[in-house]
């Protein structure tokens, strides 16, 4: 009886498994990056709206 380590299929299995793991990590990292970009964009919008509301900045300045 052969084990997975002794099997001739070990190298392709290792390559496939490693590639799959890299792909999953890349997808998770990409989603995380998009979430952070969206959060920061919304936070900036809220800060600009607060500055305009308190009168520190005009609406035209806030538009830029």
Domain map of the chain by residue range? Answer: 24-63
Q: What tens digit of pLDDT does each residue of 38-49 get?
A: 999 999 999 999
User: Average pLDDT, whole number, for the chain?
Assistant: 88
Q: How far is 60 from 39, CA to CA, in rounded Å?
A: 23
Q: How far is 31 from 15, CA to CA, in rounded Å?
A: 24
Task: Report pLDDT for 58.
Answer: 86
Q: How far is 49 from 43, CA to CA, in rounded Å?
A: 10
């Amino acid at each position: 009886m052969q084990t997975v380590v002794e099997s001739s299929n070990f190298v392709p299995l290792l390559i496939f498994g490693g590639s799959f793991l890299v792909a999953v990590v890349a997808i998770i990292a990409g989603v995380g990056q998009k979430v952070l970009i969206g959060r920061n964009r919304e936070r900036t919008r809220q800060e600009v709206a607060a500055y305009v509301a308190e009168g520190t900045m005009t609406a035209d300045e806030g538009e830029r």
